Amino acid sequence: MKAKTMATLTIRNLDDDTKRLLRQRAALHEHSMEEEVRQILRTTLRPQPTAGKPLGDLLVELSRPGVELPDVRPHTPHEPLAL
């Protein structure tokens, strides 16, 4: 069985504030800064599952002329309120 190779990534010119925030975030999650970066990259780059169509696509479809929206009103009118 062939071993899986891992890539190495070097980040240059990282400002001090970003590094400080990364260190704090890693400490909060109780792991190294290196592991924190791996977690951030995995989470950010992994495709997010969606339930059906994205909201933006649905809004575009609804804004097109000729789109019929379902009538969600009750079929029988309510009795007027007696005041």
Instruction: Render pLDDT for 40-79 as a digit per residue (tens, 0 to 9).
Output: 998 888 876 666 777 788 777 777 777 666 666 666 777 7
Tally of structural domains, the chain: 1
Give which of 15, 14, 38 is closest to 26, Cα–Cα: 38
* pLDDT (mean) for 5-13: 91
Mean pLDDT of the chain: 83
Asked if residue 60 is part of any domain, the answer here is no
Q: Is residue 3 part of a domain?
A: no
In a domain, 31, yes or no: yes
In a domain? residue 35: yes
pLDDT score, position 27:
95
- pTM, two decimals, is 0.53
Domain extent, residue 25, equals 14-47
What distances in angstroms separate CA 45 from CA 1, 39, 41, 78, one per listed residue? 28, 10, 6, 51
